[in-house]
Structure 1
Amino acid sequence: MGKRTVHVSDFSGKVVQSAAEVVRIVVLDHPDLVAGPVRLEAEPSEVESIDDAALDVAVVEIHDGQAGEAPRRVVLTASEFDALATDVPMAQLLRTAERVRPAKASRERVDYATLEHAGKPHRGRVTEEEAQVVRDHLDEVNKRLADDGLRQIDPADPEQATRYGFPTA
C-alpha cells in the first residue's frame, strides 16, 4: 500500500495539483496572530498579487525610557518615517547612524520529559523520563501535538513503539 499526499490551498481550499507548485507563506506578524509565526500553503496564482500589494514600510521600536516598560514596536509607511528627518535626508541619516546589534537569542534547552514538551519531534534520543510521560499521558500528548499541527504518536507504529517504550506485538 502506498501513501499519497494531497496539498490543499489554505486560502481557497482548492487542491494544488503538484507538490512542486505549492507556495509556502510564513506569516510573521498579523493582528490576529496570537501564538507566533504560522505557515500557510497556496497555489502560485493565489499569491501573485502579494508583491504588487506590498507596502514600503519602516518598522521601528520606541524606547521611551519608562522603567520596566518594553519598547513599543510601530509600523508606518516609509514616506511618513522619512518626513521625520528635517535636517538631512533619511537615507543619509540611516547610512551614518550608529549600528545596533540584535540581542542574542538565548537558546533554552527544552525539557522533553515534561507534559508540555513530551512527544514533540526532536533529533535527540528519547529519555526514559520522556517515554514514561508519553506512555502515561498519551491522549493529552497527542491532543497537544494535534493542536500544534505536529504528528501524533501511534503505539501501533513499530518505530514509535520502540522509541517510546510501548509493548510491541
Structure 2
Amino acid sequence: MGKKTIHVSDFTGTVLQQDDEVVRVVVLEHPDLVAGPVQLDATPGEVENIDDAALDVAVVEIHDRHGGGEPRRVVLTASEFDAMATDVPMAQLLKTAERVRPPKARKSAEKIDYGTLEHAGKPHRGRVTEEEARLVREQLDEVNKRLADAGVRQIDPADPEHALRYGFPEAS
C-alpha cells in the first residue's frame, strides 16, 4: 500500500498541484495565536495583495508599575504614535533618542543538557543521547507542550525523521 500526500492552501482549501508555487506565511502574532508562531501554506495569488493591506504601525513596550515588572507590548498606528510627539516631530525624536542595547548573549561556555526534561526534544544539531530519546519517548505529551509553549516545532512519532532521531517505532 502506498501513501499519497495532497497539499492544500490553508487559506482557501484549494488543492496545490506538485508544480504549483507554494508561499509559506509565518504568523508571528495574532490575538488567537496561543502557542507561538505557526506556518500556513498559500498560493502566490492568495497573498499578492497582503502588502497593500499592511498597516504602518508602531510597536512599543511600556515599562511601568502596571506590568508587574514585565513590559506591556502595544501596537498602534504610526500616525497615532507620531501624534504623541508635540514638541519635536516624531521622525526627529526617533533619530536622536537613546538607543536600547540588546540583551547580552549567553556565554558559549554554558552547555545545554538535552538529557533533562527541561531541554529534551528541543531542536539542536548535536547527536541525540539515549537519555534524551528516552525522555522524549516516555514523556512526549509534556515535551510537546513545552515545545509548543516555546513556539518551536513539536515531535511527531509518525514523522520518519523524528522516529529515527528519538527511537520511536516506525509506522508500517
Instruction: Name the TM-score, length of structure 1 as normaliser.
Output: 0.72
**8 Å Cα contact 1:25/1:41 also seen in 2:** yes
For structure 2, list consecutive stretches of 5 or more residues without a partner in the other structure: none
Matched residues in 1 for 2:156 and 2:8: separation? Answer: 20
Summarize the alignment of residues 82-101 of structure 1 with structure 2, pairs less than 5 Å apart.
82-101=82-101
Most deviating of 50-59 and 18-27: 18-27
Indicate the residue corresponding to 2:75 in structure 1.
75
The answer for the alignment partner of 1:33 in structure 2 is 33
Structure 1 CA distance for aligned equivalents of residues 4 and 19 of structure 2:
11
Q: SS at the partner of 1:126?
A: coil
Query: 1:141 maps to which residue?
Result: 140
- The equivalent of 1:152 in structure 2 is 156
For CA contacts below 8 A with separation 6 or more, give which structure has more relative contact order: 2
Contact 2:60–2:74 (Cα < 8 Å) also in 1: yes
Identity score, percent: 66
Counterparts in 2 of 1:58 and 1:3: CA distance versus 1, 3 Å: same
Cα distance in 1 between the residues matched to 2:71 and 2:142: 36
Instruction: Spell out, residue by residue over 1:46-66, the C-alpha distance to the aligned partner (whole angstroms, 9 max, x if none).
Output: 111211110001111111246
Q: CA deviation at 1:131?
A: 3.2
d(CA) in 2 for partners of 1:14 and 1:143? 34
Q: Matches of 2:38 and 2:127 in 1, distance apart?
A: 27
Q: 2:134 aligns with which of 132, 135, 138?
A: 132
- Specify the structure having the higher radius of gyration (Cα): 1
Measured on the aligned residues, the alpha-carbon RMSD in Å equals 3.7
How far did 1:165 drift?
A: 9.1
Q: Give 2:114's match in structure 1, choosing from 80, 91, 112.
A: 112
In 1, Cα distance between the equivalents of 2:101 and 2:44? 36
Equivalent residue pairs, number: 160
